[in-house]
Chains A and B, each alone.
Chain A
Amino acid sequence: MAADLAPPIWDFHGGLHIPDHKALSAHRPIMETTLPSRLQLPLQQHIGKPAEPIVKVGDPVLKGQLIARASNYVSANLHAPTSGKVIEIAERPIAHPSGLPAPCIVIEPDGEERWAELPEPIPNWAETDPADLRERLRRTGIVGLGGAVFPTSVKTNVTGRAVDTLIINAAECEPYITCDDRLLREQAEKVFEGARILRHIVGASRILVGIEDNKPEAIASLRNALRGGNDDIEILVIPTKYPSGGEKQLIYLLTGVEVPSQGLPLDVGMVCQNVATAASVADAVLHGQPLISRIVTITGLGVNHPGNLHALIGTPVAELIAQCAGYTSQIHKLIVGGPMMGFSLHSDTVPVTKGSNCFIAATIEEAPDPPPANTCIRCGECVKVCPAHLLPQQLYWYARARDFEQAQDHHLFDCIECGCCAYVCPAHIPLVHYYRFAKTEIWASEREHQKAEHARRRHEFREARIKRLEAERKARLRKKKEALEKKSTGTTSKDLKKAAIEAAMKRVAAKKAAQQGQAAPPPREGDN
């Protein structure tokens, strides 16, 4: 009945209907993991500045204890996922597209799981000031768990902006990933608790939950959890189409409102949060629990027993794979995130981070090596599937030619890198690569430009300062001279006398010269 009254679902341009491969792991309940032998905690797991460690090597730590502090506003606290000892603070391999290692705090668990003193639960959050709740999210290190890992306390800071709708993103549109599906099936109440807290924080009146229709059990669980307490929360079932879980795409699907190009949902009075983030918000506010674990999907035909694992942040992927009965012989690639937007890992020693929702142990059939790229024939298949309604073939052309100005004119920065264009490209061109390349080149040149601008301003300032100092010096000299001249007014008569003598001597010299100039000088008066 509720579905009959639901508002229409809008359809965004483009997108793909691709096999979702979710059946591999969707039926597996969330499984607790055994304590790993080592936990590696990267200082940067979020968007923004890395956290600053506040523990030293050798320090004992308790479960939930703060070990690295947010270094500025856009940063996130980091907590010890279990009790044990800090054994190393050094660069370790992490899950990053660059494949470069990054600073990590390495903890050796002691197996005792002794908790640190946690912040007080806030059961009466509805009467609590949103700023205090945001401070709680900041303190507990909550970040967006849908993959973007943006600090939630920053995203929910809507000071001065009117927000009417909180969007809860349960779309989980990438193939293979099932961690949100499982969370909704098993802990839908917690998600709603977190969603209500978030609604209070951002000051929205209604909550819209968007979920793809390929998760009927999760939808039933959500509806079940909502029964009775329907306080302006709507569950909207959307057709399964990649990338419906993209923030802007989901908002359009649910409300028909387009988030402005290069703008934020806040610009249209909305805030969007992922379901797992909502659950961790509930934990933080209702139990004072910091973000030290998450649900991770381990899947693909390259692993023996795909599943959904409740893993501590910092657990090496290899240990999770081992708990899923290890790799099959067909293992070819290891992908973190979804197969469309995730990146492939060079090694499985990297740890689970706050943003790791899924690891795919893919066979060569699942993630084939790309065939050699042909030339673009401008067929326009990419135009048909681009959810941002760009002209990917033109962007490719300009990125390749390094004509970044034209690329920006063709709205390069509206590209969400969903990969639909590359998926359909008959020439197998790695289009997303080209867009990332163009974006980073533009960012780099902007930084250069800013640097140059900064240097120019510094230079101009220096020139101005030198000029000013010179003028000041001259002014000082002038003043000094004037002061000196004033002082010497007593000796003026002496000067006059000197001048008179000089004048007289000149006159004499002139006369002499005149006499020598004449052949027979007649005697003159005064000439003796």
Chain B
Amino acid sequence: MEFPVAGSPHLSGQNDVQRIMAQVMLALLPGIAALWWYFGWGVIVNLGLTSLTAVVCEWLVIRLRGRDLRPVITDLSGLLTAWLLAVALPPLLPWWQTVIGTAFAIVIAKQLFGGLGQNPFNPAMAGYALLLVSFPANMTQWLEPSVLSGHLVSLNEAWQAIFPGIPPHPQGWDAITSATPLDHLRTELSRDHMISEIRREPLWGDFGGKGWESVGTWYLIGGLFLLWRGVIGWRIPAGMLGSLFVTAGIFWLIDPEIHPSPLLHLFSGATLLGAFFIATDPVTASTTPRGRLIYGALIGVLVYVIRTWGGYPDAVAFSVLLMNMAAPTIDHYTQPRVFGAREGDDGL
């Protein structure tokens, strides 16, 4: 009798790329729900917009490259990029800017390098950074959380704002948008206000800005789910959050009036989203165990440095992109000690 032949091993586990991506998307849902709760329907419209753009862009590129479309679409990596970008964008960003950012992420940052697994930069962050440097005014004007403005943007208002550009408030954009808490803090500090003064303003909650800190908490919960499922490892988030906490903590201990508390850093901006969903992108991160700890830690330090002394209020996108460039070097110098290797032979 004759049989088909295959190479060993003849068994395989249940792990799958699609499964990994789907779990990350699932873990993102609590954060998305929180964004919707505090900032209205804009994020939902953006999710649809980025998802559609991502799928169309991948379809176009794959057609041009003459590859099989099905595995590319079904691995869900493009959709995940779209979702990550959507939650990072201001909820009422004009539609064409959202489309440009997504198209850049998929076509330039991902597919031009050869698609999934080949891209040196995190596609979502590349798209975000492009929009931030191209349209800084739009990108830094966020909606006020509904707990402050008392107005939750409805689906129709979001649609009107994003497509024809009609402000959802009769008194115009200024009535419902504001700087992000980090941006606000930065401006106030530059005007020599004390942190104790600034923190008395109504926009602050327990750790960070009202609404913002809750969204961060839901990202944290999603991240813990990913850790529990083994989809991500602990090293990158621990490295990033730990180093940000320690760096911020040192300065805060030196002078808490001009340096915000480490908890404010953790619960503001994109810190928690970045630590669990962005920096952990395996394709662009360091891949050795020690390397991941270092990679995460350096992102944390960079976030602090850029937030404190750099030109932008938040820094997760730039920090991640910068460290993406360093990942191969980190990998090279952090190879694990091979079983049976002699003392001191670190594989360097």
Contact = CB atoms under 8 A, between A and B. Distances in A.
Interface string B274-307: 0000000011010111001000000000000000
A390 B338 contact: yes
B9 A340 contact: yes
Contacts of A328: none
Given A370-B12, A387-B339, A318 B7 contact: no
A432 B8 contact: yes
B11 A367 contact: yes
A375 B1 contact: no
Interface string A296-331: 000000000000000000000010000000010001
Interface stretch (A201-209, A210-218, A420-428): A420-428
Given A335-B10, A347-B2, A410 B17 contact: no
A124 B271 CA distance: 76
B5 A345 contact: yes
Interface in B1-43: 1-13, 15-17, 19-20
Interface stretch (A126-134, A378-386, A480-488): A378-386
Given A377-B283, A380-B282, A332 B338 contact: no
B335 A410 contact: yes
Contacts, number: 169
Interface stretch (B46-54, B95-103, B112-120, B167-175): B112-120
A389 B337 CA distance: 7
Given A377-B282, A378-B282, A388 B338 contact: yes
B20 to A, nearest CB: 6
Do most interface residues of chain A lie in helix, strand or loop, or is the interface mixed?
A: loop
Contacts of A262: 340
A381 B17 CA distance: 11
B336 A391 contact: yes
Contacts of A367: 6, 10-11
Looking at B13, B288, B339, the one whose CB has the most chain A CB atoms below 10 A away is B339
A411 B288 contact: no
Chain B residues touching A, majority SS: loop
Contacts of A248: 339-340
Nearest to B9: A419
B71 to A, nearest CB: 6
Contacts of A389: 336-339
Contacts of B288: 380, 383, 391
Nearest to B347: A411
B331 interface: yes
B341 interface: yes
A383 B288 CA distance: 8
B75 interface: yes
A340 B287 contact: no
A249 to B, nearest CB: 8
Contact of B340 (A263, A345, A424): A263
Interface stretch (A67-75, A186-194, A253-261, A511-519): A253-261
Contacts of B331: 391, 394
A36 interface: no
B6 A344 contact: yes
B8 A343 contact: yes
Interface of A: 12-13, 18, 99, 175, 248, 252, 258-263, 318, 327, 331-335, 339-348, 360, 362, 366-370, 372, 374-381, 383, 387-391, 393-394, 409-411, 414, 417, 419, 422-428, 430, 432-433
5 contacts: A259-B340, A333-B10, A347-B1, A380-B289, A428-B12
The 4 A-B pairs with the shortest beta carbon distances in the complex, nearest first, are A419-B9, A375-B117, A261-B340, A367-B10
